[in-house]
Structure 1
């Protein structure tokens, strides 16, 4: 069977180039971040046909030159070439009318390092540093993160002219980091940033298109309790979130630890679903009467995330309220409680390590 071409998108610094070098040593790599290479193909995209004898052609940062995709399309059709097309932003491709190959290439994502990719994984280290490959092992992870945030603002926003008002966008980035994992209220955010609600919608689109953040939509299929439909916004990496929010050190047992712990479980679940290539939707549920559940996976699992060391009835109110609706099959809490167990009414209590083991084994997806 012929190998399928692939679009591989991941945020800047997530390790796409390193992964290619280590796993595809025989591939021809065309790096469009190199100015000479960029100019070479800018003048004449048809020069790509010179690679017809290559078993695999990698075009790194393909969004820099969307015009190449017409030639990629032609070479897939006529020459049977296989391409790996990587990028750190889908904005120019999605909104610029680029040739997306009409199903001739699969789409895949690369995320920061997950717990399964880090030997001797340390939760507190991860909640402070995040999972960017250059950041997590660094002794100067704070400096690395500040440099990353500056690089993103300079290259992705200023150089690509995604917005003219960089100052307002920077304020927006910091505000969204402070409210990471909270419901998006366009009117309130617009007032705080001094711009219009439509501008905030555009800013959020920029974050999603450049893979810096994603929305978690509300689960609204409950009938007894009216659900809120607003989305939540999560950044793609905990360390980047910490830096933008100027959090300082996250200490075990603190309020910030709880927020970062929830963020970690959401990110880990998202990465697992994507890497397993499963069609599983992630949502959250909140009723107008203030009951809430952090994660809904299809209609199979409702998962509450608590950093508490001992789970008690007060932590189960949201799950029990949702359980009464009869629309979800299984219910669980993921926490720092060391004891795995099941309540009398069928709610699973999973220590976070157990949850991650089961998650990557496919139990929840």
Structure 2
């Protein structure tokens, strides 16, 4: 069992919490382990769902008043419960709810009572480097970070089933799209373009769908936390930046499965793509867990200089799956630094030792970078 970075005990000290994340990220396991004393309502249990969906007041009427923590798992399945939860919080200001969910979209679209600021929103990401041993980098590049799959003997079969069942059928079951066939074709094409600039017209053409449908499907992926856009950094003037965002799925293993990638070996093109994806997810997760609001972007000029990640306007990161890097591997960093007063320029790679070149670029081994990121030394 993995020890997670997210500290739910601390989060609920002063208010209730919406804990959001796609299925299999470990939300239920985390809340059960953190709050063994809690009253637990699992809306995936058919009887519990039927009772509370038809009579939400049963939550209030059956709750033991001595309980201090109440967990409602998969709250998006029954948004009407939030009115009862709101009432209970108003009557007992020391009562804390932990409300897990995998679809913020259904809550929003249902006009749900989001507790008017009485609950904070936290997100549980797939496993990150402080939660996994250092020797499992290659496993994570292949399998991703969903706890149930990282250690599974048949992890490839499990990931295929997850993509086929959850990303397709459950999206339809939640009433988010009418045609599972259209959504499935979209997913296949979106998976092939993971980590690339989003071209709605091209994805629509390849999937045989209208561009408006493709835009809506991307919104579904974002609202269900299955992926997110990485905006373009637009703070340069001499070298005109592109404005198109990239799109990344929430997990490396899920993206690999959608791309139908085989086993990934170091030195392959697939390894380079997956390593860049993993570093993006680590930085995104660090910013989220630390409560940082620094913008995370990438930069590409129209003259084809590129930097993989830009944090705020202070730190720029290039990822190279190489054991020896040279200046031509990070020309984008140097070009960006000519226009933006960067505090740090880093190349994350497979060199054996950390070093700084004559241009002030820090060459950092992958594992060392991840350690420094989570130690807080990349960004204070």
Aligned partner of 2:163 in structure 1 is 149
Aligned partner of 1:219 in structure 2 is 233
Secondary structure in structure 2 of the residue aligned to 1:242 = helix
Equivalent of residue 348 in structure 1, options 349, 359, 362: 362
Q: Deviation at 1:337?
A: 1.4
Q: How many aligned residue pairs are there? A: 365
Indicate yes or no: 2:287 matched with 1:276: no
Aligned partner of 1:70 in structure 2 is 83
Range with bigger deviation, 177-186 or 50-59: 50-59
Indicate yes or no: 2:25 matched with 1:43: no
Q: Deviation at 1:157?
A: 2.0
TM-score by length of 1: 0.97
Q: CA RMSD in A?
A: 1.4
Structure 1 CA distance for aligned equivalents of residues 351 and 344 of structure 2? 19
Counterparts of residues 19-58 of structure 1 (less than 5 Å): 19-49=30-60, 50-51=62-63, 52-58=65-71
Equivalent of residue 181 in structure 2, options 120, 143, 167: 167
Secondary structure in structure 1 of the residue aligned to 2:41 = strand
TM-score by length of 2: 0.93
Deviations 1:91-132 (A, max 9, x none): 111222111112111110001111211235321111111111
Structure 1 CA distance for aligned equivalents of residues 371 and 68 of structure 2? 36
Structure 1 CA distance for aligned equivalents of residues 141 and 119 of structure 2? 35
Structure 2 CA distance for aligned equivalents of residues 336 and 9 of structure 1? 34
Range with bigger deviation, 96-105 or 317-326: 96-105
Structure 2 unmatched runs, 5+: 1-11
Structure 1 CA distance for aligned equivalents of residues 50 and 183 of structure 2? 30
Q: Deviation at 1:165?
A: 2.1
Range with bigger deviation, 120-129 or 19-28: 120-129
Equivalent of residue 251 in structure 1, options 248, 252, 265: 265
Contact 2:169–2:180 at 8 Å: present in 1 too? no
Secondary structure in structure 1 of the residue aligned to 2:135 = coil
Moved segments of 4+, more than 3 Å: none
Structure 1 CA distance for aligned equivalents of residues 50 and 182 of structure 2? 33
Deviations 1:117-149 (A, max 9, x none): 123532111111111111001111111111111
Counterparts of residues 296-307 of structure 1 (less than 5 Å): 296-307=310-321
Contact 1:5–1:106 at 8 Å: present in 2 too? yes
Deviations 1:138-189 (A, max 9, x none): 1111111111112214542221232122122112112111111000011111
Structure 1 CA distance for aligned equivalents of residues 325 and 71 of structure 2? 49
Counterparts of residues 311-350 of structure 1 (less than 5 Å): 311-350=325-364
Structure 1 unmatched runs, 5+: none
Secondary structure in structure 2 of the residue aligned to 1:122 = helix
